[in-house]
Amino acid sequence: MSSIEAIRELYERCKELDLDESTELALRAETIEEQDFFEMVSNYFLQIRQRKVILEGKF
């Protein structure tokens, strides 16, 4: 598997994370840098979900 394919697969898997899993990832991070990364990924997908809710007029 190429790096591009691996990153795309990672992206798809990250989209499926729920809030509890994202929190658990951040709590189990081995470094501050890793924790920051997990939090940024989680925040990105949370923003996507929020935008969808707003656009659908549910908020």
pLDDT per position as a tens digit, 30-48: 999 999 999 999 999 999 9
CA-to-CA distance for 35 and 15, rounded, in angstroms? 18
Quote the distance between the C-alpha of residue 17 and its chain's center. 6
| 54 Rama class: left (phi>0) / alpha (psi -120 to 50) / beta | alpha
CB atoms within 10 A of CB 23: 14
Q: Is-contact 35 26, C-beta < 8 A? A: yes
pLDDT at residue 58 above 90?
A: no
